[in-house]
Structure 1
Amino acid sequence: MAAGEARLLHKRTGKVVGVVSALGACASYSVLWRGLDYIAGPGEQSEIQLVDSPRSRRYRERADGMGSTWREYRPIPAEIVLTAIEQDIAARVPGGFVVVEPHVKRGRDGAVNKDWGWQRYAEVVASLPEIRWLQMGDRYSRPLPGVEFVPTATFRQACALLARARAYLGPEGGLHHACAALRVPAVVIFGGYVSPSVTGYHHHINLFSGSGLGCGRSLACDCSCMSTITYELVVAALRTLLLRVDRSDSSF
C-alpha cells in the first residue's frame, strides 16, 4: 500500500519519494518496488518522504495488545513492474486460469480471523470443475484437491503468474493488493477482521460479514463472520466476476 501512496505523492509533486519509518530516517526499500523510478532505491536520495511503518499506517487508528482499531481508508492501487525474465518464466504456464489462495500468512496479527477455512475453498473448487484452478506457493504449501499447483520461490514470482490469471479468489492480504496493482479481477474474502472500507478496492468483489470497520482482533474471535460467508455465496460471486471478465467489463 505504501507504493500506491508513493505513486500518488509523486504524481502530485513530481518528486522522488523515500519511504521511511519516521521523518528524517533512512529510506526503506522493498523488492516489489523494483522498476518504480519514483521510489528512492537503496542509497538513493529522495526529494520527499512518506512515513510508513507498522506503527504508522494511514488505515490504523491505534494498535494495542488486543489488536487494531481501524480508520476508514481506501488503498491506492500500486504498480508492480515485472522483469522480462519473470514474465518469461511465468509464460511457461498457459494463461486463463483462476488463482485460488486458501492459506493466510501465519504469524501476523489477526491471521486466524482471516482464514476462511480449507474445506470451504475445497467446496468452491469442487463446485466449479469447469474452471482451470491454479494455486501458488513454496514446496511446503498444501495444494487443494483438483487444482494445478505451481511452486513459486518469491512473491515476485507469484505476481508474475498472477498477472496471467483470469481472476483471483482468496483472503484479504498481499495477493489481493497485488491483484489491484496488476489489474487482475478478484473475489476477496474479508470476513469480519477488517472492512473493505479500510483495505478494499472498489473494482473487486469484497465479501465482508463483520460490523463497522471490522473487529481488528489479534486473537481468534468467537464470532460467526467466516461461517456467514458460505461457499455457495462465494461460488455466486465468482460466477458474477467471471461473467464481467468475459464481457470485458472488469476494467478500472
Structure 2
Amino acid sequence: MASGHALSVHRKTGGRVVIVGRNGRARWSDLWNGLPWIVQPDESRSGAAAIQNGPQCRPYIAYPFNREIGCRYTGWRAQDHVGEIRFTPEETGFAARATADIEEGFILIEPGVPEQSNPNKQWGRAKWQALADILRDRGYVVVQVGAPGTDVMTGVKLIQTPSFRHGAAVLARAGHAILPEGGLHHAAGALRRSAIVLFGGAVDVAATGYPWHTNVVDDGAHSPCGAWSPCDHCAEIWAKLTPEHVASFLPSPN
C-alpha cells in the first residue's frame, strides 16, 4: 500500500517520493526495489515529496489506535493507491522453476495470519484444511508458499520461498488465490491477480479491499467493528463462514 500511496503522489507532482515512518525518518522495504518513483536508501531526498506510511502511521487508520480501543477508519482507500511489484529475473525464474511441474490454474491459499496481527482475522486452521480438501476433490492443485518450516496443510504442495517477494512471484503465476486480509492479499491487489479475500467482521473492506477481488465480508450492523482484541461478534461471523461457501466463489476447474 505504501508504494501505491507514493505512486499517487508522484503522479500528482511529477517528482519522486520518500516514505517516512512515524518518527519522520525515511523508511525502506525491499518490496519497493525497482520502483523509480520512490527514493532509494542511498539517494538524496532533497526535493522529494514525503509521505508518512508505516507502523503506527497507516493512512487508513484514525489515531490514536491500540489493541484495547480498536481501529477506526479515516476513509483512505487502498484501491485508490495501487502500487506495483517489479520482480527481478531471479525472482521470476524462481517462480517458473517452482511451478514447472504444477498444472496451470493452481490455487494458492494462505491459512496463516501472523501472531502480531489482529486475532479477529483468524478463520481457523481446521476450516482452511477443509477448504483445501474440497478444492483438491474438485480437481484443483493447491499450493502454499512460505519459509522452510512453514506449517503445511495435508495434501497441499508447499513452495519454500526465500522472501516475501519470491512468494509474490509464485502468486503471480497462480490461477486464483484464497487469502486472509493482509500482506499477500495486497500483493494480489498490486499484481491484479484473481483472489478471494476473507475479511470477516473487524476490517473495513472499503479501506483495504480491492474491487477486482471477491471480498468475503460481513455486512451486518456491527461490521466493521474494528476490534483488535478477541471479539464475540467476529467469532460468530467466522463460525458461520463455511469452507463450502468460500469454495463456491471459484469456477469449476477445466
TM-score normalised by structure 1 residue count? 0.89
Quick one: distance in 2 between partners of 1:22 and 1:145?
41
Out of 172, 196, 199, the position equivalent to 2:205 is 196
**1:64 positional shift:** 3.0
Q: Which residue matches 1:64?
A: 66
Q: Which residue matches 1:90?
A: 95
Deviations 1:187-234 (A, max 9, x none): 000001202111100110001125455222222112202112221210
Structure 2 residue ranges without an equivalent (≥5): none
Q: Which residue matches 1:231?
A: 243
Q: Which residue matches 2:121?
A: 114
Quick one: distance in 1 between partners of 2:141 and 2:92?
20
Q: Is the 8 A contact 1:70 1:213 kept in 2?
A: no
SS in 1 for 2:232: coil
Deviations 1:156-177 (A, max 9, x none): 1101111111111010000000
Deviations 1:69-94 (A, max 9, x none): 22333202210000001111111113
Quick one: distance in 2 between partners of 1:178 and 1:22?
23
Quick one: distance in 2 between partners of 1:13 and 1:213?
36
**1:21 positional shift:** 2.0
Quick one: distance in 2 between partners of 1:205 and 1:189?
9
Change (3 A) 1:107 1:12: same
Quick one: distance in 2 between partners of 1:73 and 1:219?
23
Out of 220, 223, 226, the position equivalent to 1:216 is 226
Q: Which residue matches 1:249?
A: none
Q: Which residue matches 1:21?
A: 21
Q: Which residue matches 1:50?
A: 51
Change (3 A) 1:213 1:29: farther
SS in 2 for 1:188: strand
Q: Is the 8 A contact 1:195 1:210 kept in 2?
A: no
Out of 180, 183, 191, the position equivalent to 1:182 is 191
SS in 2 for 1:91: helix
**1:105 positional shift:** 1.0
Letter in 1 for 2:230: A
Q: Which residue matches 1:142?
A: 151
Q: Is the 8 A contact 1:20 1:28 kept in 2?
A: yes
Out of 76, 80, 93, the position equivalent to 1:73 is 76
Quick one: distance in 2 between partners of 1:21 and 1:127?
43
**1:138 positional shift:** 1.5
Change (3 A) 1:151 1:22: closer
Aligned residues: 239
Q: Which residue matches 1:36?
A: 35
SS in 2 for 1:49: strand
Q: Percent identity?
A: 34
Q: Which residue matches 1:250?
A: none
**1:54 positional shift:** 2.4
Answering whether residue 141 of structure 2 is matched by residue 132 of structure 1, we say yes
Letter in 1 for 2:85: I
Quick one: distance in 1 between partners of 2:127 and 2:18?
42
Quick one: distance in 1 between partners of 2:250 and 2:5?
29
Quick one: distance in 2 between partners of 1:64 and 1:182?
31
C-alpha RMSD of matched pairs (Å): 1.9
